[in-house]
Amino acid sequence: MYKGGDDMKKGVMMQGFEWYLPSSPHLWKILRINAFKLKKAGITAIWLPPAYKGAYGVNDTGYGVYDHYDLGEFKSKNTIRTKYGTKKEYLWCIKMFHLFGIDVYADIVLNHLMGADAMEQVIAYKVDAYHRHKVSKRKRVIRASTYFSFPSRDKYSDFIYHSKHFTSVDYDASKHQHGLYLFKGKHFSENVDDEYENYDYLMGADLDYNNPEVVKEAIQWGLWYKDITHLDGFRCDAIKHIDSSFYEHWITTMRKHSKKELFTVGEYWGDINHLCHYLESTHFCMSLFDVPLHYHFYDASHSNGYYDMRELFNNTLVQRHDKYAVTFVDNHDTQPGQSLTSFIEDWFKPQAYACILLREQGYPCIFYGDYYGIPHDHINPKKDILDYMLKLRKQYVEGIRHDYIDDPDVIGWTYETGLAVILTNSKGGTKRMFIGKKYKHMTDGNHIIDIIDGYGEFICDEASLNLYIAQK
């Protein structure tokens, strides 16, 4: 049985990219050079971006998938390399992380294809994009980007995609019209998110996982990919848009083939009820990102101090199913300029990261853009404070913890190993917390707290995070 993050105790994942990274210098080279430094800092696993050729060549982040088998090896889309480098550089990057004992997770994008090699005439019906059970009764012939033959690639697979392998597209080239077009004889999967009544279609040419040929090819590719990369797990993209039964089958097949657990986390943007339903319906075959917790951080940082901090962990995945919760502060989808922009205010980043790094529940994920900064938006790195919290995590985050999540402004917790965490999104204050009778004084570098009978009156500065350890 898949155990989720239960086997990742004290582990920390890093998302190894952000959206606006330049295509040069190559990311694979940058990460390879920094592998040892990340290991030393306390990173135990890295999530790499989609490594296959995208429709926009060197400018494609990998989510506009063209060819899953082209990892920067074939001349297509006017380039051999991907945005991140060549296949050789990719495999070398993975080997370097493995050399330092860091697990590598691959970003798997199986929802759609883009950048077709040719168009096909398809009989289709127009669908109301916001009410997807409303399908026009009028048939129309459209030109759709659905023919993928991969003429530049001559090995690994001879599979050719035709319109029969897709459910729908969002563009009719014959009339130059945008819209959602459902192909004749096709239907949207029912085991998907219920937004717009059915959220099967997301973008590009939507792969049809009711077609056995599509399922078979996805499995064959997954086995090939795992065998050549020796990856340790997956981050599965856009799972709310793909029939849930597919991923359960796909992941189970990968694990049986590999004879190892293969940690897997899925991207599902939804409330706690939708996340719990997905976990249950797929028999807890994967972990999920704790999206509700992210939005709590967002609300706390944008509320001008009016967010009730007692609610921070309520109705989150880390509260309901902590073994299957990957906790995060921000990622490539939430950073400024992206479709799900919900970036945590800079001043609240330390507080948010303390909530995922300095607690045992959940499997924390650090964002590349927080660690190294985002030059595109003039966002400064948080490397120093994150490195410090990683150090504290390794040394103190274990054993008996006492929670003091009991005030609308100031909350905190302690570990009897010798760490006290206190934070606020508003005015500062003090909180009496138990740390253990073996300590006499605690300090955060600015305040010294006397410990009497195991208790101290810990100070929290305004709109701040204060971290106390035993005074040497």
Write down the catalytic residue from 237, 290, 330, 444. 237
Q: How far apart are CA 444 and CA 24, in angstroms?
A: 41
**Is 267 a catalytic site residue?**
yes
**Is 170 a catalytic site residue?**
no
pLDDT of residue 203: 97
How far is the first Cα of the chain from the last one, in angstroms, to the nearest whole number? Answer: 45
Write down the catalytic residue from 267, 322, 333, 370. 267
CB atoms within 10 A of CB 316: 24
Task: Identify whether residues 13 and 125 lie together within a single domain.
Answer: no
Closest CA to 363 of 5, 2, 16, 106: 5
Instruction: Please tell me whether residue 180 adopts helix, strand or coil conformation.
Output: strand
Q: How far apart are CA 447 and CA 67, in angstroms?
A: 57
Task: Identify whether residues 85 and 160 lie together within a single domain.
Answer: no
Helix, strand, coil % (nearest 5) of the chain? 30, 25, 45
Q: Give the DSSP H/E element, type plus range, for residue 228.
A: helix 212-229
Which of 207, 225, 246 delimits the end of a domain?
207
Strands 465-470 and 455-460: unpaired
Tally of domains within the chain: 3
Task: Identify whether residues 386 and 465 lie together within a single domain.
Answer: no
75: exposed, middle or buried (C-beta count within 10 Å: 0-12, 13-18, 19+)?
exposed
Whole-structure pTM over 0.85, yes or no?
Answer: yes
Strands 45-48 and 103-108: parallel
Q: Is the torsion defined by CA of 456, 462, 466, 470 positive or negative?
A: negative
Task: Identify whether residues 259 and 368 lie together within a single domain.
Answer: yes
Task: Identify whether residues 223 and 298 lie together within a single domain.
Answer: yes
Which of 154, 174, 207 delimits the end of a domain?
207
370 φ/ψ sector (left φ>0, alpha ψ -120 to 50, else beta): alpha
Q: How far apart are CA 236 and CA 265, in angstroms?
A: 6
Task: Identify whether residues 68 and 181 lie together within a single domain.
Answer: no
Task: Identify whether residues 62 and 148 lie together within a single domain.
Answer: no
Domain residues for the domain of 411 are: 401-470
Task: Identify whether residues 105 and 235 lie together within a single domain.
Answer: yes
State the CATH number of the domain containing residue 41.
3.20.20.80
Residues whose CB falls within 8 Å of the CB of residue 30, separated by 6 or more in sequence, listed in order:
none
Q: For residues 319 and 291, is the Cβ–Cβ distance under 8 A?
A: no
Q: Is the torsion defined by CA of 142, 144, 146, 148 positive or negative?
A: positive
Tell me 148's DSSP state: B
Distances (CA, A) of 179 to 182, 184, 231, 362: 10, 16, 38, 40
Closest CA to 42 of 406, 359, 395, 399: 395
> pLDDT tens, position by position, for the chain (472 residues)?
567 666 667 899 999 999 999 998 899 999 999 999 999 999 999 999 999 999 999 999 999 999 999 999 999 999 999 999 999 999 999 999 999 999 999 999 999 999 999 999 999 999 999 999 999 999 999 999 999 999 999 999 999 999 999 999 999 999 999 999 999 999 999 999 999 999 999 999 999 999 999 999 999 999 999 999 999 999 999 999 999 999 999 999 999 999 999 999 999 999 999 999 999 999 999 999 999 999 999 999 999 999 999 999 999 999 999 999 999 999 999 999 999 999 999 999 999 999 999 999 999 999 999 999 999 999 999 999 999 999 999 999 999 999 999 999 999 999 999 999 999 999 999 999 999 999 999 999 999 999 999 999 999 999 999 999 998 7
Task: Identify whether residues 268 and 339 lie together within a single domain.
Answer: yes
Q: How far apart are CA 351 and CA 307, in angstroms?
A: 14
Per-position b or e across 133-142, b if 16+ CB within 10 A of its CB: eebeeeebeb
Task: Identify whether residues 278 and 361 lie together within a single domain.
Answer: yes
State the CATH number of the domain containing residue 140.
2.40.30.140
